[in-house]
Amino acid sequence: MALLAISIDDRALQGRMLDRVAAQDGRPVDYPLLSDPDHAVIDRYGLRNQEDPRDRPLPHPTVLVLDQEGTVRWKFIEQNYKIRPTNDDILAALRAVWGEEGEMGTGESAPADGAG
């Protein structure tokens, strides 16, 4: 199991954001942040906000739990960038998909569509 984040920002902009987050939280981000400036991954999963008033390729705030084959097993997609799933929501989805010991579970207790 791995945690990663993705944004449309280039590496330089991501670096500044990571520095800001580390200063604010008092510790560095300890998972990979992937750069998707051409929004290929964002588009692959249908996450682009088509209603952005400035027509930027911004994704909707999203959390995906994928299985080993890359199949989406749980998702949380929200229109409002201020609304995010809680850590408990994400952990429950991970447990449903991966089980307590990190083994692939059935995923049946995870919500099929998340919120949003």
Domain boundaries, the chain: 1-59, 60-116
Residue 74 structure tokens: 């749980």
Closest CA to 113 of 76, 59, 70: 76
The pLDDT assigned to 102 comes to 57
pTM of the predicted model as reported, rounded to 2 decimal places: 0.67
Q: What is the mean pLDDT of residues 93-116?
A: 57
Residue 59 is given by DSSP the state B
Summarised one tens digit per residue, pLDDT across range 36-88 is 999 899 898 888 888 877 877 788 889 988 888 888 889 999 888 889 899 89
Judge whether 35 and 7 are in contact, CB under 8 Å: yes
What pLDDT, on a 0 to 100 scale, did the predictor assign at position 54?
82
